Amino acid sequence: MSTLVTLRDLSYHTGSKTLFDNISFSLRANERVGLIGHNGSGKSTLFRLINGRESFEQGELALRRDLRLATVEQFLPEELLDNSVLEAALAPYEASDRSARSYEAERRLEGLGFTGDEFGFVVRDLSGGQQNRLMLARALANEPELILFDEPTNHLDLASLAALEVFLSRELDAAFIMVSHDRTFLDAVTEHTLILRDQRLYRFDLPCTEAREALTHQDEAERRTRKAEESKIRSLEASAKRLATWGKNFDNEKFSRRAKNMSKRLDRLRADVTFVSKGSGLNLEIETEGIRSRRMLSVDQLSIYPMVEHAGRSPLFSFDQLVVRPGERIALLGANGAGKTTLIKHLVARHRAHAHAEQAINFSPQTTLGYYDQELEELDLTRTILDYLIGCLDAAAVTIRNALVQAGFAYADHGRSLVSLSGGERARVLFVKLRLEAANLLILDEPTNHVDIEGREQLEEQLLGSGATLLITSHDRRFIDRIANRFLLIENQRLVETKAPDAFYDSLFTGSGTKNRAQEHKPSAAVNADAGADQMLERLVALEQLLADDLARKPKHQKPKLQDTWRYEITKLNEALEEQ
């Protein structure tokens, strides 16, 4: 089996910070590797080094000659957002090859779950799951032997996660390295694990969970070894000091010489002492206050509509009754677009409007609400970390500062603007806010987004230990399985209770629980009617070429529905150009 990538004693620094200190590893053909580590440990940087977008100070990085390497981006390039799905899938090819490659690109898109009708959809209108599948199609364009996946599970709903898991497990014929914080997903699709920690790289020929357990056992063994080494060093230090004193007091050259030799031995022992990890240094805490009420929230006869004006529209779902009692940890399940986030925003808005007993929704007067929104829109990005928290919390500045330090924000960072923070750092600010609010009902919409594996496990421990009442959504199956003691499922436009999430998870892999992908979006013109004439002409020429190429194929390979979409857009563009 050939070696695709080799790193030897590679070091990398950014400013005064060391990310990698003499790391080494090799990757062979067809190996499927998970790359994990806390936020800021250098996972994305390692990818940029491998694909040549970053340079390093020392060490060696070698790729096999003629290696076909691809990277699945976290985001699609801005210049592709107004293109059609098929155009974006063809973009990696040379312009002169795109017509000949069109059939191949369509087959690849179909293999990733796109229908012919969706080939003409505008990229910016796609769901997160569809955009991820499109990025994978682009990465597969040149039949890569190695693919770098940088957090492909971010912002995916459970159905999209299931589809990606099936593709990687059963259909992909290539080696890959994958950065992800989803433990269940990594366990399903990888066989080897790289762990970045303390500027070091650890390799285990095990999937994620087993690899982390092996590292824990290794840490324990190293701590025991370190303890024995330190005990030996202390004993030798005492002996060396005693010999030096005797040599001086008794003017004995023999004792003095032995003391010097022992000191040299101590220097060697100190230099070769076993390394022990200090961990990430982050501490995620959640605190809640008690409540005496038997019901925190009750809802009767409610229909949930889309957030936009819903006059004349059908509800996303309805339900007869929902009662939330103290200590319940409720997971809200449902396919993408079923209405989970819409329900959560509706409940939060009602509570904040102090409509505790208005219409169908009744909050107990004792209920205090803490809210984590998946898009982090709660944050005022125009303010600094400290100013934002002081403005929305009834807490002393020193209390807030102490909580920020515990969450991993150095004192000097408290004046940083929120807009300058990464997604993971913004999430930590929201968790600090939740901790200091100490609410007794926590509504958490995808709280594991932007949170690394260690952070997720800390969050699980804190939520379970706090006794908090929870209403949560999450695409992290392990998080749901560990946290929730009650499950609500949105299915067939109804909110129903289910004993366990297993049947829902199973439906994601069989397809019975997901809606038709072709109905996720309606086709829209890839160039708006008010776009410039040059842009519309460029789009018109491209569409006419796509239509001509498709018509030139054998009838059994043609796409009549897609041809209709192109003809419709061509007609609209011609009408718009006539009005210019």
- Phi/psi for 95 (5° steps) reads -55, -35
Among 489, 518, 547, give the residue marking a domain's end: 518
Domain assignment present for residue 70? The answer is yes
Listed residue (129, 137, 132) closest to 150, CA to CA? 132
E-assigned strand segments in 427-503: 441-445, 469-473, 486-491, 494-498
Distance CA 441, CA 367 (A): 7
pLDDT value, residue 279 = 67
- Phi and psi (nearest 5°) for 94? -60, 145
> To the nearest 5 percent, what fractions of the chain are helix, strand and coil?
45, 20, 35
Same domain, 139 and 75: yes
Packing angle of the helix pair 423-437, 397-406 (nearest 10 deg): 130
Q: How many helices (H) and strands (E) does the chain have?
A: 17, 19
Classify residue 402: in a domain, yes or no: no
Spatial distance between the Cα atoms of 254 and 197, rounded to a whole number of angstroms = 46
Backbone angles phi, psi at 167, to 5 degrees: -60, -45
pLDDT computed for residue 518 by the predictor: 35
Q: Do 503 and 566 reside in the same domain of the chain?
A: no
List the one residue out of 29, 117, 131, 34 whose CA is nearest residue 81.
131
Domain limits for position 496: 297-388+439-518
Q: Which of 174, 193, 213 is the last residue of a domain?
A: 213
Show the CA angle centred on residue 58, arms to residues 53 and 59, nearest 5°.
90
* DSSP assigned state of 444: E
Strand (E) positions, 446-516? 469-473, 486-491, 494-498
CB distance 61 to 6 below 8 Å:
yes
What CATH number did the domain enclosing 319 receive? 3.40.50.300
531 in a structural domain: no
Give the tens place of pLDDT for each residue, 249-276. Answer: 878 888 888 888 888 888 898 888 888 8
In degrees and rounded to multiples of 5, residue 69 shows phi and psi of: -115, 135
- Run of H or E residues at 363: strand 361-363
Together in a domain, 65 and 175: yes
**Residue 171 domain flag:** yes
Specify whether 112 is located in the same domain as 198: yes
- In terms of Cα–Cα distance, which of 499, 479, 481 is closest to 489? 499
Among candidates 284, 374, 330, 372, which has minimal Cα distance to 483? 330
- The three-point CA angle 412-458-278 to 5° equals 60
> What span, in angstroms and rounded, lies between the C-alpha atoms of 205 and 28?
12
Q: Is residue 396 part of a domain?
A: no
| Nearest to 200, CA basis, from 16, 7, 408, 424 | 7
Please list the rounded mean pLDDT of every run of 10 residues in the chain (580 residues).
93 86 95 92 92 90 95 84 92 88 89 86 82 89 93 80 86 93 94 94 96 94 91 90 85 84 88 79 71 88 74 80 93 87 91 71 92 88 94 94 90 92 86 92 91 89 88 93 94 92 82 42 40 68 77 70 70 74
Other residues' Cβ atoms within 10 Å of the Cβ of residue 115? 16
The residue among 147, 182, 213 that closes a domain is 213
CA atoms within 13 A of residue 570's CA, in its CB half-sphere = 15
**350 and 313 in one domain?**
yes
Cα 234 off chain centre by: 46
The sign of the dihedral angle between the CA atoms of 57, 60, 64, 69 is: negative
Residue type, 295: R
Q: Which amino acid is at 439?
A: A
Residue 524, pLDDT score: 38
Residue 100 and residue 16 share a domain: yes
Tell me the C-alpha distance between 441 and 298, whole Å.
Answer: 13
Could you give the count of Cα atoms lying within 13 Å of 325 in the half-sphere of its Cβ? 3
DSSP 313: P
Q: How far apart are CA 396 and CA 414, in angstroms?
A: 14
User: Parallel, antiparallel, or unpaired: how do β-strands 329-334 and 469-473 relate?
Assistant: parallel
Token pair 């500027």 is at which residue?
A: 199
Q: Which helix (H) or strand (E) holds 543?
A: helix 533-551
Q: Which residues contact 388 (CB under 8 A, 6 or more apart)?
A: 379, 380, 418, 429
**What is the distance between the alpha carbons of residues 403 and 213, in angstroms, rounded to a whole number?**
29
Tell me, yes or no, whether 415 lies in a domain: no
Q: Identify the three-state secondary structure at position 202.
A: strand
Decide if 399 contacts 433 (C-beta within 8 A).
no
- Look at residue 481 in the predicted model and tell me its pLDDT: 92
Q: Are 5 and 27 in contact (CB under 8 A)?
A: yes
pLDDT tens digit string along 64-108?
999 999 999 777 888 899 999 999 999 998 888 888 889 889 988
CA distance from start to end of the chain:
61
Crossing angle of helices 502-510 and 158-170, rounded to 10°:
60
List the structure tokens of 550.
């498709």
Q: What is the pLDDT of residues 119-140, one digit of tens each?
A: 999 998 887 778 888 999 999 9
The pLDDT of residue 535: 67
Residues 346 and 202 in one domain: no
Per-residue confidence (pLDDT) for residue 467, from 0 to 100: 84
Identify which of 412, 437, 340, 455 has the alpha carbon closest to the alpha carbon of residue 36. Answer: 455
- The pLDDT assigned to 507 comes to 82
Give yes or no: residues 75 and 41 share one domain: yes
pLDDT, position 562 = 66
Q: Give pTM, 2 decimals.
A: 0.75
* Exposed / middle / buried, residue 531 (Cβ in 10 Å: 0-12, 13-18, 19+): middle
Whether 44 and 192 share a structural domain: yes
133 in a structural domain: yes
Within a domain: 286: no
User: Does one domain contain both 492 and 348?
Assistant: yes
Q: Is the domain of 544 the same as that of 503? A: no
Which residues neighbour 364 within 8 Å (Cβ) at sequence distance 6 or greater?
Answer: 291, 293, 295, 296, 297, 356
Q: What is the per-residue pLDDT for 556?
A: 60
Same domain membership, residue 542 and residue 511:
no
Total structural domains within the chain: 3
Tell me which amino acid residue 6 is. T
